[in-house]
């Protein structure tokens, strides 16, 4: 196994110079840097990660905090983040905030203590004010996902949640539905509140009275979508369409409708939000609003890496992404 001394000999430089190249600190001529890198490659030399961390006071890593690990939506996000980190030759440290404000805050603080160069937080529960206060306590850059916060020095990437939910509602209303049930995401989350608010606003704009009996607060999992439909049917609620505020709950709702002998979309239309991979393969395939999670994650990782390298960043702080309607087989015109 090659050692740092072997690299020194092959490149014709001192050990201190090789260390500066490896740790990317100090001044080294470009020709010398290239010679060291070529020697490392030829010898198959792998720097000691622990030694690097001690020398640079950095783990050469970026952190990613997710509210949960279940679901293909977060699988897509994690895959994109891992690709970006690997391309930049950085380690990706991933933590679960367990869907709580306390979990988000403690995970950020723990990743800072692990000497991450930058931290990406997918936030559902901390308020915008709490995020601003958290940012002020950090010595590493923080990039916030799932939010759009207009604040200089606070970098955020988020979907237009109300626009996405409104797009789904407008689709159902255009099909002639006026009895639309809603399976909401948790209302203690920013996403849940905004999507549910858009549902209510679209009803009001269409002149349709809001009916609390046609609402159910889910937990973003398939089981809660299933439970919502069971509740609606057992309480003999009258509805011709369902807006589920994410695809997993929509798929759970479709399962319950099938078990109760209702046809989709002949009896009930169903639409979700997110456009998870399973949506295109369900039977019938699920109409949904596609959110560009891959692009958002790619952009957020690129910014986090730039911040980690202390590069000059333009003053754009809030990056917004729009949803797009994907009409498939689960929605159709109202029959009555």
> What pLDDT score was predicted for residue 51?
52
The answer to whether 129 and 291 have CB atoms below 8 angstroms apart is no
Between the ranges 25-29, 30-34, 290-294, where is the mean pLDDT highest?
A: 290-294
> Poorest-confidence range of 44-58, 63-77, 279-293?
44-58
d(CA 172, CA 153): 40
Domain-embedded: residue 152:
no
* More confident: 315 or 44: 44
Domain-embedded: residue 84:
no
Instruction: For the chain, give the mean pLDDT.
Output: 91
Question: Which parts of the chain are beta strand (E)?
Answer: 61-66, 91-96, 118-122, 142-145, 155-159, 180-184, 215-217, 241-244, 269-271, 288-290, 318-321, 324-326
Mean pLDDT of 142-156: 88
Q: How many residues does the chain have?
A: 336
CATH of the domain at 237: 3.40.50.2300
Residue 312 has pLDDT above 80, yes or no: no
The answer to whether 228 and 218 have CB atoms below 8 angstroms apart is yes
> What pLDDT score was predicted for residue 209?
97
Contacts of 210 (CB under 8 A, 6+ apart): 200, 203, 204
Residue 2 has pLDDT above 90, yes or no: no
Domain-embedded: residue 27:
yes
CATH of the domain at 37: 1.10.260.40
- Alpha helices by DSSP H, listed for 24-127, are 30-43, 49-56, 72-87, 101-113
> What pLDDT score was predicted for residue 37?
87
Mean pLDDT of 49-75: 74
The answer to whether 269 and 172 have CB atoms below 8 angstroms apart is yes
Q: How far is CA 199 from the centre of its chain?
A: 22
d(CA 246, CA 231): 18
The token pair at 60 is: 């050469």
User: For the chain, how many structural domains are there in total?
Assistant: 2
Domain-embedded: residue 302:
no
Domain-embedded: residue 205:
yes
> Which of 34, 56, 78 is the endpoint of a domain?
56
Q: Which domain holds residue 236?
A: 161-291
Domain-embedded: residue 330:
no
Mean pLDDT of 232-251: 98
Mean pLDDT of 7-15: 86
Question: At 155, phi and psi to the nearest 5?
Answer: -95, 125
> What pLDDT score was predicted for residue 133?
92
Residue 53 has pLDDT above 70, yes or no: no
Residue 81 has pLDDT above 90, yes or no: yes
The token pair at 188 is: 């203690």
d(CA 151, CA 142): 13
> Counting beta carbons within 10 angstroms of the beta carbon of residue 278, is it exposed (0 to 12), middle (13 to 18) or buried (19 or more)?
middle
Domain-embedded: residue 268:
yes
Between the ranges 24-38, 106-120, 170-184, 310-324, where is the mean pLDDT highest?
A: 170-184
> What pLDDT score was predicted for residue 54?
44
Domain-embedded: residue 61:
no
Same domain, 165 and 47: no
């Amino acid at each position: 196994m090659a050692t740092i001394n072997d690299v020194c000999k092959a490149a014709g430089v001192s050990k201190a110079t090789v260390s500066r190249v490896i740790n990317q600190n100090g001044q080294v001529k470009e020709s010398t840097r290239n010679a060291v890198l070529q020697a490392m490659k030829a010898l198959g030399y792998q720097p000691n990660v622990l030694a690097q961390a001690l020398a640079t006071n950095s783990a050469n890593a970026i952190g990613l905090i997710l509210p949960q690990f279940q679901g293909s939506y977060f699988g897509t996000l994690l895959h994109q983040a891992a690709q970006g980190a690997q391309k930049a030759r950085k380690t990706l440290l991933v933590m679960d905030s367990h869907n709580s404000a306390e979990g988000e805050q403690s995970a950020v603080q723990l990743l800072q203590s692990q000497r991450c160069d930058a931290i990406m937080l997918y936030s559902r529960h901390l308020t915008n004010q709490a995020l601003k206060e958290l940012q002020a306590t950090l010595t590493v850059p923080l990039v916030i996902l799932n939010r759009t916060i207009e604040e200089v020095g606070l970098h955020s990437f988020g979907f237009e949640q109300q626009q996405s939910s409104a797009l789904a509602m407008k689709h159902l209303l255009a099909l002639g539905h006026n009895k639309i049930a809603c399976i909401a995401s948790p209302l203690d989350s920013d996403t849940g509140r905004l999507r549910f608010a858009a549902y209510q606003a679209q009803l009001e704009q269409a002149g349709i009275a809001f009916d609390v009996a046609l609402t159910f607060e889910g937990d973003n999992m398939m089981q809660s979508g299933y439970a919502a439909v069971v509740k609606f049917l057992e309480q003999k609620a009258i509805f011709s369409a369902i807006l589920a505020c994410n695809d997993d709950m929509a798929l759970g709702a479709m399962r319950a409708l099938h078990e109760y002998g209702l046809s989709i979309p002949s009896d009930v239309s169903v639409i979700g939000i997110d456009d998870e991979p399973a949506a295109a393969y369900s039977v019938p395939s699920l109409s949904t609003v596609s959110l560009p999670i891959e692009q958002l994650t790619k952009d957020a990782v690129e910014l986090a890496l730039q911040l980690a390298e202390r590069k000059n960043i333009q003053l754009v702080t809030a990056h917004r992404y729009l949803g797009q309607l994907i009409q498939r087989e689960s929605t159709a015109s109202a029959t009555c």
